[in-house]
Structures are given as C-alpha cells and as structure tokens.
Amino acid sequence: MRSDLISTLPLVLNPASPAPIPAQLTAQIRDLLATGILSPADPLPSTRALAKRLGVSRGSVVTAYDQLAAEGYLSSTHGSGTIINPNLHQLKPLETENTHRQSPPPTPPLLNLDPGIPDTATLADSAWRAAWRTACAQPPRELPDAGLAELRNEIAEHLRRMRGLVCDPQRIIVTAGAREGLSLLLRTFKNSSTVGVESPGYPSLRRIPEALGHHIHDLPTDSDGLIATNLPTNLDALLVTPSHQYPYGGSLSAARRTALVNWAETSDTLLIEDDFDSELRYVGMPLPPLTALAPDRTVLLGTFSSVITPQIACGYLLLPPALAAELAQLRGILGQPVGAITQAALSTYLASGALRRRTQRLRRVYRRRRSIVQERLGALPGAQLRPIDGGLHAVLITATPAEVIVDKLAMRGLQVTALSDYWGGAGAENGIVFGFGSHDDDTLDWVLAEIADAISGI
C-alpha cells in the first residue's frame, strides 16, 4: 500500500484511563468514523507503524484492529494492508451522541435554467485542449499587474473583430469577470458615491455598489432599454447595458445613446458599459459600444462568460486613458486574480481564431433554440413571451404570481427565476426568467413542455 495514501489517525491515549489501550483505540476509531474523519475505503497504518507512533505494544494495536474487523468496521487483505470496510455504510449506520435525530433525505438538485449560461458540450475541442497544453507546458515567468501583454493584445483584437472597436491594449486590465471588474473600478470612487443602476437590472452587478459602501439610484427602463431622458445630475457613475438590457433584452437606439453620452458630459458622470451578451444578437445589426462614442467618459465591462463559460472566470476592463494608470496601480496593490496559466491559455485560444469560429457556430445553435422557445411558448394562454432579440434567456410575463410558478416548477425539478428578483423597488412585472442556451434540444423541449403545463394547469 502506498504510504502517501495512508490516513494519519488523530489518536490520543490516556495512560490514566481505566480502559485498556485496545479499548481506547477501538472507541476512538469508531468516533473518527462517526464524525466523518475516516470514510469507507480509507487505508489505515499498519499495526507495527501505529504501535511505534503511539509508543505502545504492537499486540495492543492488533487486538484493537481485530475487534474492529469483527464488528465489520475494518477489512484487510494479505499484502494489501488494512482499510476501512468499503461497504460500511451498507452494513450499519454510524451514530454518535449528537446524531439520534434522523436527517431528512437530501433534496435532488434542480435542473439549472439560470440566464446567461452557454452550451459547453463542445467546448473542449482540439483548439481548447491545445491552448491549455501550451500554457501548462510553458507557464509565463512573470504576471504583470494589468494582465499578460499577449492576452490584452488579443482582447483588443477581439473587440476590433467582434465589436468594431479599435482600442489601445494599454487601456485594458484583465479581471476575474464582470463582478470583480466592477468591484475594482468602484474601489477608486470616493466614499458613499452614488451609482445609477437600471431597474430591472442584473442582480449580481447592482448589489456590488452597496456592498462596497456606495449608494444606488434606480433608473427606469422600457422595452428599448434605459430611458435616457430626465436623468438625475447627482450621479457619480451609471451602470448601463446598452447592447442587451437585462433581463428584457432591449437595445438602446442611436438617439438614446447620443442623449446618454451628452447627459454624461454635462453632468460629469462616468458611464460603466456592461457589454453583456453583445456578441449574441439575433435581430438586426448590433450598434457600436458607447465606448466608441465617448472613450474618455466610458468604462467597458467585458467578460467571456457567455461566449466561453462562466467557469473561466476571466474578463476585462477597457478604461479611459486617465483611469487606466490609476486602476493599474490599484491592481498592483490588490493583486491579479486571474492566474498566468489561465491567461496564457485564453490568449492562445483567442489568437487561433477558435473563439470567433465557436461563436459563429453557437449563434446558429442558439438561434434554433430561440425558435423552439418561440414556437412552444409564443402563444401560451395566460402568458406573454417577450421578444428575444439576443442573449441566452427568455422572459415570460404571466398573470399568475411568479412565486407560485417558480415553486411549482421547482417541484418538477426545474430552477427558474421570478422576474421581480431583477427590480430594485416597486413596479415589478409578474413573470419568470429562464435560460435556454445550456441544454440540448431534447432537454429544452421537455423543459418548455413542463413550463407550459405548469402555467396552463394553474
């Protein structure tokens, strides 16, 4: 038996105890099993090694092991050493003084229909594996605070090709995703700043300003995104999703974008552009980012979550020149959260063109699944499917309280979100939000049938 696999037993013998040493050993090993420190199939030290470590005779340890084996706790094979019986839990439940009350059976996990989760079934192709092999074989020697230069160059190239935005890589800082990027940016703000947020809006981002001690100001939206008239003039920053408003999916018109930029200039407000799902558009041509209209007034908050996977935990900030140096200095203090190997692998993957090809393929897949959603739920009695112009989720307005539908679907094994969770105050519409991108067509068919049946049967 490999010595590095043998469990180290936290056994302490009490010489003053009236109990003999074998009895002390058996009692303590039973306790280790009952508390989960030892598990079935764990290898144990040999009787000789354990006796030497405890300073007792080998015979005492042999007696203890024999007793535990007779009770079914241990199993031994000649030449393979002694292990905890692999079938122990099938033979007898383990109890301690604190486990007399039976725990309820574990609840099976719900099928995750969270918005924004991409299809990763074909992610690990030859290009993906090659990028990680290369990164692991030759890990970078040094990781700059702002991120690897090659990755920042590739992000700039990605923005040029995918978003029609030409930018200096020196203005880019690598982040661990949208939330981490926003947190980094807000740490440069003065205490108790006021940040405007869309209502409804992306919950994970809208909670961050308050968590860092800032105030939020809810701003109304409609089917075309943020309403860019009558905006307050006392905001330090405004978090906006002009390309794909969350969760309704509207895109700011050119007129609204111009009005928003003019307002930001007049009120001296920093625009934080969440470029959420901008690469996944099904209707019309995407408009250029706000950053292209006001590069000195806008921070672009980017992530690879929707086009690769949230588990890559990598994104970027594209900053105005005046902010880039300040953020790089702060990053140097806080440290770069994305490891060098991850950055090198992502850089190689982007440079190979694999992400562009993958995005083009998945657009066709997502467009087909969008059509399936529209066919199944577009004329559902008692519900109204909002237009799906882009992204990986759908919004279904319902007459029945959303909480009732969410609970009913949970009983059927499906996890959907109430639309009210995206609002910052009163006025929330009744409805549910669910993702349709991460599961195959057959699973999606079943999901949509369950949703339709749950709503129709209420």
Token pair recorded at residue 212: 């860092």
Reported pTM: 0.80
Q: Does 264 score more than 90 pLDDT?
A: yes
H or E element in which residue 82 lies: strand 81-84
Measure the CA–CA gap between 350 and 304, rounded to whole angstroms.
11
pLDDT tens for 135-175 read 999 888 889 999 999 999 999 999 999 888 999 999 999 99
**Minimal CA–CA distance to 216: which of 230, 205, 227?**
205
**Which pair of tokens denotes residue 316?**
């970027």
Percentage, residues of the chain above pLDDT 90:
66
44-53, 344-353, 384-393, 449-458 — which one is most confidently predicted on average?
Answer: 344-353
Average pLDDT, the chain: 89
Residue predicted with more confidence, 414 or 94: 414
Q: Output the pLDDT for position 97.
A: 44
Which of 150, 204, 171 lies closest to 342 in space, CA to CA?
Answer: 150
Query: What are the domain boundaries of the chain?
Result: 3-91, 111-119+363-456, 126-356
Q: Which tens digits make up the pLDDT trace of 336-353?
A: 999 999 999 999 999 999
* Bridge partners, residue 225, by sequence: 222
Domain boundaries 126-356, CATH class? alpha beta
- The residue ranking higher by pLDDT, 97 or 65, is 65
Between the ranges 95-99, 276-280, 296-300, where is the mean pLDDT highest? Answer: 296-300
pLDDT at 130: 97
Find which of 75-84, 136-145, 435-444 is predicted with most confidence, using mean pLDDT.
435-444
pLDDT band per the 50, 70, 90 thresholds, residue 96: very low
Question: Cα(291)–Cα(244) distance, rounded to whole angstroms?
Answer: 15
Which pLDDT score, from 0 to 100, does residue 393 have? 93
DSSP per-residue letters across 151-176? HHHHHHHHHHHHH-----GGGEEEES
Q: What is the pLDDT of residue 426?
A: 67
Which residues are CB-neighbours of 248 under 8 A, at least 6 positions away? 200, 221, 223, 225, 386, 395
Tell me if the domain spanning 3-91 has CATH number 3.40.50.720: no
Domain at 111-119+363-456, CATH from 3.40.30.10, 3.90.1150.10, 3.40.640.10, 3.30.428.10: 3.90.1150.10
* Range 196-220 average pLDDT: 93
pLDDT of residue 4: 45
Alpha helices in 35-148 (DSSP H): 47-54, 58-70, 88-91, 126-137
Q: State the average pLDDT over residues 105-130.
A: 87
Name the E strands within 322-368: none
Q: Which sign does the torsion angle of CA 324, 327, 329, 335 carry? A: negative
User: How much is the pLDDT for 99?
Assistant: 47
| φ and ψ of 195, to 5 deg | -120, 125
